[in-house]
Amino acid sequence: MIRKNLLVLFPLLATAFAKDVATPPAIASTGPGNRTILAAIYPPSEVVTVTADHADWTYQLGEPVKFMIKVAADPYPAEGISVKYRTGLEMLDAELKAAVVPADGLTVDGGTLKEPGFLRCSVMADVNGKAVKGLATAGFAPNAIKPTQTEPADFDAYWDAQKAELAKVPAEPVLTPLPERSTPKVEVFHWSLQNVGGWKGPSRMFGILAVPRGDGPFPAVLAVPGAGVRPYGGQIGLAEKGVITLEIGIHGIPVNLDPDVYQQLARGALAEYNGYNLDDRTRYYYHRVYLGCLRSNDYLAAHPKWDKKNLLVMGGSQGGQLSIVTAALDSRVTALAANYPAYCDVTGYLHGRAGGWPGFFKPNKDGVQTIPESDMRLVTIRYYDALNFARRLKIPGFYSWGYNDETCPPTSTFAAYNTITAPKELLVALQQGHSTVPAQNERINAWVVERLGVK
């Protein structure tokens, strides 16, 4: 049971839980470099509040869960508000039910699980003409969740061969000063260098490089992006602490263009890029992306101001995915920080449970899934699933996500996390969806700064 393996902290928002649920006491860490921190740092909905009847939202297999629904409106507390709700496995369709919530709240039976996983209660209400939503997710032995993704026998040989091909491509870096972004402590550049380009020849990676002024040497951080198409401003604040930072984009286009350019690409040529050429492991979109992250590290590792000791990679969502992948493929990386990593155990939906973003193979509303085992997409995905890279991590990592994430569901992230044998820390913010809050960012950044040895 995960509650016996937790360092439980409620320093920030203990009131996020129902008042009739007792806060569990702090429990000792499981050992140096390996601990889970359960923190109530994510505020609940101000209108619809859903909680589970265990304060840590975590249950033993076969133990029943009850969800408590409360609605706040004008006047407060609201009484007689009609809601619709579903309870069932996260991310999978369940029967929609209707109920009226009394002033003191409504308790619904959430059932139980006999295998490790997550049950979710999702509530929708119309309050004063506004559609509002609340949810809570109960974890059943989450630290025992096993992967559904399999590993190809030639996984390491394949990526070794791809890295060898990357090494043949001349880097040809280009740096353009950005004086308007530079500070008295940091020089900032628009940066690019040559990368593999799949079947059509080389392409380029672009990003924002921030280098502390002075002789150094300095540690370095590669900041990898979440999904989407957007410009980037660079990690200037971290650079001012004495860290060389490189924040990259992945789409082979400059990262300082007019915002409208990215909006049009996101709606057109780069819409749903995560599935491009998924039936071919070397033409697949992420082939160039994964190798581009390594090529970016080539630049950082060759920088004359790098301290030759500390190279950390960090990001959230797709950036969490890329952090895990880069750290697994590149022995120069010394630590990683990954928030709610995407693309973990993406085959989960083929096994009756949630799979990682981007939700490949999710059943239709009839629950039908008709993907044959011979489908080449299933072959390709085994080489790109972040879970198969997580198995190979050898360096310390800090991870963070919440039970309520509806983009990178916790079933998928725990499946990957549970395979990691390297030193690891996990911050679980129960109510967290697919975003972070300042208190959480502060904790992550504190870990990064401490790991790099700067202030």
* Residues carrying an active site annotation: 317, 405, 434
The CA distances from residue 14 to 139, 140, 168, 433, in Å, are: 19, 22, 55, 18
β-pairing, 424-429 vs 34-39, is parallel
Q: What are 139's two structure tokens?
A: 């974890």
Amino acid identity at 203: S
- 418: how many CB neighbours lie within 10 A of its CB? 17
Cis amide prior to 147 (ω within 30 degrees) = no
Q: Are 400 and 424 in contact (CB under 8 A)?
A: no
Q: Are 181 and 233 in contact (CB under 8 A)?
A: yes
